[in-house]
A and B are shown apart, each in its own frame.
Chain A
Amino acid sequence: DGGITQSPKYLFRKEGQNVTLSCEQNLNHDAMYWYRQDPGQGLRLIYYSQIVNDFQKGDIAEGYSVSREKKESFPLTVTSAQKNPTAFYLCASSISGLIGRGREETQYFGPGTRLLVL
């Protein structure tokens, strides 16, 4: 089955620790995205990548880093510089970065990772 997987489902971070959230897709999509979801805030874009070895900052990139070494994978690192990391993190992918051309070009989401601070 094609789809997007995120792991782990729950992740705990200690003070001063960097943690990495995994996102993998086997849909052969070029573009991938990371969103943060807080209650009542909707989705806010952290980083996105339209092609391998390239990525761009979204609206709230501070305290986060990403890499895109493979088409299938777009891991997100929450660094110690992110002072309020507790949230639900959603990864998405789309065929290309040309959003808005239709259903095929829309974003498909993974099941999410909930990050909690100890």
Chain B
Amino acid sequence: GEDVEQSLFLSVREGDSSVINCTYTDSSSTYLYWYKQEPGAGLQLLTYIFSNMDMKQDQRLTVLLNKKDKHLSLRIADTQTGDSAIYFCAEGNYGGSQGNLIFGKGTKLSVKP
């Protein structure tokens, strides 16, 4: 079945780059998304990439997609303490019967000053 895998924890120092990785299994995924969840809050859409793209950059965020290996990554440049949160990868399949996103379990990013 469909599955999205992420490592559970990542710790970086303030000012360094963070790279959060995700693998997915559904080769027919049309879009892949990154969401951010701060403590006690809902999920906030950060960015997304269409499956025919390799890279997308949005200010400090860079998304890389390797469709052959079904690997997605989110790079946060100049990581700040405010970036500490849980980051979820999700895949979406256009035309899927349920029309739902499949989420990974989330990567908790801790930024040390």
Contact = CB atoms under 8 A, between A and B. Distances in A.
Note whether A and B form a binding pair. yes
Interface in A79-118: 90, 92, 94, 96-103, 105-112, 114
Contacts of A102: 31, 48, 50
B94 A109 contact: no
B100 A111 contact: no
A36 B67 CA distance: 29
Interface string B94-113: 11101111011110000000
Contacts of A97: 98-99
Interface residues of B, number: 29
A28 to B, nearest CB: 17
Contact of B29 (A33, A40, A100): A100
Nearest to A33: B100
B107 to A, nearest CB: 10
Interface of A: 4, 6, 31, 33, 40-43, 45, 48, 50, 56, 58, 90, 92, 94, 96-103, 105-112, 114
Interface of B: 8, 29-31, 33, 35, 40-45, 48, 50, 88, 91-96, 98-101, 103-106
